[in-house]
Amino acid sequence: MIDKYQIHHEIDVLLLLRHIWKIVFTSLILLLLPHFAWAEIKDDKANRIVSGIISFTQWPGLKNPELCALSSARHLSLPQHSASPAATFTVVYLANVNDIALHRCDAVYFGDQTPQQQVEAIQQFHGRAVLTLAENNAECTVGAAFCLIFQPDHTHFSVNLDSLTRSGVRVSPDVLLLSREGSE
C-alpha cells in the first residue's frame, strides 16, 4: 500500500520541477528576446542604408538597377523582385558568389564573404559599372565600395574610395559626406 505522505512528497517534487522549468524557460526567453529585437533593428537599418545608397547612385544608361544580394547576408531583408512602383531597383537573392555571372547584377551586396573573396568576385565585373556593398568588411580598405558596420547601438557605413572609383558608378557627394560623419 502506498503511503499518503509519499504521494504528497512526489506531487510536491513534481510541482517544484514544474516551477523550476517555468523559471528556466522564462529566463531563456528574456535572454534571447533582445538579440532577436536587435537583429530586426539592424535589418531595418541595413535596408534603409542600402536603399539610400542605391537611390543616390547613377549607372551609365541605366534607370532601374538590379541588386544581387548573397544569401549569406544576415542584415539585409529587402523583398525579392519588388514590384512596387516606388521601387528604384529590384532585388535578387543568390545562393553563392558563382551565381553572380547568371544575373545582370548592377549592384552586389556581400554577406559573409571576406574582403579577399569580395575582390575576387569584383574582378569578374571588369569593364561593367557595378556598385558593391558588404556587411563583413569593417576595415573597408579592400573589397566592396560601401561597407556596413553594425554595432549594438549604431549602424553606419564606410566608403572605400578606390573601389568606388573603379566601380564605374557615380554616387552623390552627399552620400560620401554621410559616410564620413558615420550617419545611420
In a domain? residue 71: yes
In a domain? residue 46: yes
In a domain? residue 24: no
Q: How far apart are the first and last CA of the chain?
A: 72
In a domain? residue 146: yes
Q: What does the pLDDT read at residue 42?
A: 44
Q: What is the pLDDT of residues 122-179, one digit of tens each?
A: 999 989 999 999 999 999 999 999 999 998 888 999 999 999 999 999 999 999 888 7
Q: Is 174 exposed, middle or buried (0-12, 13-18, 19+ CB in 10 A)?
A: exposed
Question: Cell numbers of 100, please?
Answer: 553572380
Helix segments in the chain, DSSP class H: 4-55, 115-122, 161-167, 173-181
- Domain that residue 80 falls in: 41-181
In a domain? residue 4: no
What CATH number is attached to the domain comprising 131? 3.40.50
What's CA 126's distance to the chain center, in Å?
25
Higher-confidence residue of 39 and 131: namely: 131
Q: In this structure, what are the phi and psi dihedrals at residue 156, rounded to the nearest 5 degrees? A: -140, 180
In a domain? residue 26: no
In a domain? residue 25: no
Q: What is the pLDDT of residues 77-121, one digit of tens each?
A: 988 865 545 568 999 999 999 999 999 999 999 999 999 999 999
Number of folded domains in the chain?
A: 1
